[in-house]
Amino acid sequence: MDPDSLAKAFVEHYYSTFDTNRGGLASLYQDASMLTFEGQKIQGSSNIVAKLNSLPFQQCNHSISTVDCQPSGPAGGMIVFVSGNLQLAGEQHALKFSQVSN
């Protein structure tokens, strides 16, 4: 599978899971993983999922605008940059978002 197809498949899985079952994201994070959210650094799979589950909304829908990927490191990793819109239930206007995953 080429890197762009792999990145697209990852992004589709990640945001579909985020929108329907945030707890299901735990397997995508490791103990060394870090989430920076509005300046707060959260490390480790269980802490990251706890933060995502504590967000003040239950329902949302991500609309992806861009997915860019680049190779990362000698072990065949990738950096994936995503941007798009986040529509919260009951809100008229979508929020812009961006995320970088390695």
pLDDT at 1 over 90: no
The torsion region of residue 77 among left (phi > 0), alpha (psi -120 to 50) and beta comes to beta
In this structure, whether the domain defined by 3-101 belongs to CATH 3.90.1330.10 is answered with no
- 69 to 1, 55, 81: CA distances (angstroms): 14, 27, 6
Instruction: Give mean pLDDT, residues 26-37.
Output: 94
Q: Where are the domains of the chain?
A: 3-101
Q: What is the pLDDT of residues 52-94, one digit of tens each?
A: 999 999 889 999 999 999 988 888 889 999 999 999 988 999 9
pLDDT value, residue 21 = 94
- With a pLDDT cut of 90, the percent of the chain lying above it is 82
Are the C-beta atoms of 69 and 63 separated by less than 8 Å? no
pLDDT value, residue 76 = 81
